[in-house]
Chain A
Amino acid sequence: MSHCALHISGARLQYVSELMEIYVTRFSAWALAKNALTGNKGWTNQWRKPDPKPEYDAIIVGGGGHGLATAYYLAKEHGMRNIAVLEKGWIGGGNVGRNTTIVRSNYELRHNALFYEHSMKLWEGLSRELNYNVMFSQRGVLNLAHSPEELDAHAIRGNAMRLNGVDAELLDRDEVQKFVPQLDMSRDTRFPVHGGLLQPRAGTARHDAIAWGFARAADKLGVDIIENCQVTGFLKDGDQIIGVKTSRGEIKAKKTAVAVAGSTSEVMRLAGIKKLPIESHVLQAFVTEGLKPAVNTVVTGGGGHFYMSQSDKGGLVFGGEIDKYNSYAQRGNLPVVEDVTTIMLALFPQFAKVRLLRHWGGIMDMSMDGSPIITKGPLPGMYLNAGWCYGGFKATPASGWCFAYTIANDEPHSLNAPFRLDRFSKAYSIDERGAGPWAKLH
Chain B
Amino acid sequence: MIINCPHCGPRDVSEFTYLGDASVKRPTSEKAARKSWENLVYNRDNPLGKHRELWHHAFACRLTMEVVRNTKTHEITSVKGRGPYFEETSK
- B45 CB to closest chain A CB (Å) equals 6
Interface string of A246-281 (1 = CB under 8 A from B): 000000000000000001011000000011111110
In the complex, A280 Cα to B38 Cα: how many Å?
Answer: 19
Query: Which A residues are in CB contact (< 8 Å) with B53?
Result: 325-326
Q: State whether the Cβ of A327 lies closer than 8 Å to any Cβ in chain B.
A: yes
Stretch at the interface among A34-42, A205-213, A328-336, A394-402: A328-336
Question: CB < 8 Å: which of B21, B43, B45, B72 contacts A328?
Answer: B72
How many A-B pairs have beta carbons closer than 8 Å: the answer is 70
Query: Which B residues are in CB contact (< 8 Å) with A290?
Result: none
Interface residues on A, range: 20 to 34
Residue of B1, B34, B44 most packed against chain A (CB within 10 A):
B44
CB pair B18–A440 under 8 Å, yes or no, is yes
Which residues in window 1-24 of B have CB below 8 A to A? 1, 12-14, 18, 20-21
- B54 CB to closest chain A CB (Å) equals 10
Residue of A266, A368, A425, A440 most packed against chain B (CB within 10 A):
A425
CB pair B46–A424 under 8 Å, yes or no, is no
Given known contacts A335-B12, A335-B13, A424-B38, A324 and B46 CB-to-CB distance under 8 angstroms: no
In the complex, A266 Cα to B47 Cα: how many Å?
Answer: 7
Query: Which B residues are in CB contact (< 8 Å) with A325?
Result: 13, 18, 53
- A386 CB to closest chain B CB (Å) equals 11
CB pair B39–A275 under 8 Å, yes or no, is yes
CB pair A265–B46 under 8 Å, yes or no, is yes
Q: State whether the Cβ of A89 lies closer than 8 Å to any Cβ in chain B.
A: no
Query: Which B residues are in CB contact (< 8 Å) with A275?
Result: 39, 43-45
Interface string of A364-384 (1 = CB under 8 A from B): 000010000000000000000
CB pair B34–A333 under 8 Å, yes or no, is no
In the complex, A424 Cα to B34 Cα: how many Å?
Answer: 11
Query: Which B residues are in CB contact (< 8 Å) with A327?
Result: 71-72, 74
- A377 CB to closest chain B CB (Å) equals 15
Q: State whether the Cβ of A438 lies closer than 8 Å to any Cβ in chain B.
A: yes
In the complex, A438 Cα to B51 Cα: how many Å?
Answer: 17
Chain B, Cβ-Cβ closest to A437: B41
CB pair B46–A326 under 8 Å, yes or no, is yes
CB pair B1–A278 under 8 Å, yes or no, is no
CB pair A277–B42 under 8 Å, yes or no, is yes
Given known contacts A326-B71, A327-B74, A437-B41, A279 and B46 CB-to-CB distance under 8 angstroms: yes
Q: State whether the Cβ of B73 lies closer than 8 Å to any Cβ in chain A.
A: yes
CB pair B42–A328 under 8 Å, yes or no, is no
Interface string of A404-442 (1 = CB under 8 A from B): 000000000000000000001100000000000111100
CB pair A329–B18 under 8 Å, yes or no, is no
- A424 CB to closest chain B CB (Å) equals 4
Chain B, Cβ-Cβ closest to A436: B41
Given known contacts A276-B43, A280-B71, A368-B42, A328 and B18 CB-to-CB distance under 8 angstroms: no
Question: CB < 8 Å: which of A326, A328, A425, A440 contacts B34?
Answer: A425
CB pair A329–B73 under 8 Å, yes or no, is yes
Q: State whether the Cβ of B48 lies closer than 8 Å to any Cβ in chain A.
A: yes
Query: Which B residues are in CB contact (< 8 Å) with A437?
Result: 41-42
Known interface pairs A329-B72, A425-B38; 12 further A-B residue pairs with C-beta atoms within 8 A, sorted by A's residue number: A263-B48, A265-B48, A277-B42, A326-B71, A327-B71, A335-B12, A368-B41, A424-B42, A437-B41, A437-B42, A439-B44, A440-B20
- Please give the residue numbers on chain B whose beta carbons come within 8 Å of chain A beta carbons, in ascending order: 1, 12-14, 18, 20-21, 34-35, 38-39, 41-48, 51, 53, 71-74
- Please give the residue numbers on chain A whose beta carbons come within 8 Å of chain B beta carbons, in ascending order: 263, 265-266, 274-280, 324-329, 333, 335, 368, 424-425, 437-440
16 contacts between A and B (CB under 8 A): A265-B48, A276-B44, A277-B42, A278-B46, A279-B21, A280-B48, A324-B18, A328-B72, A329-B73, A335-B14, A368-B41, A368-B42, A424-B43, A425-B34, A437-B42, A439-B20
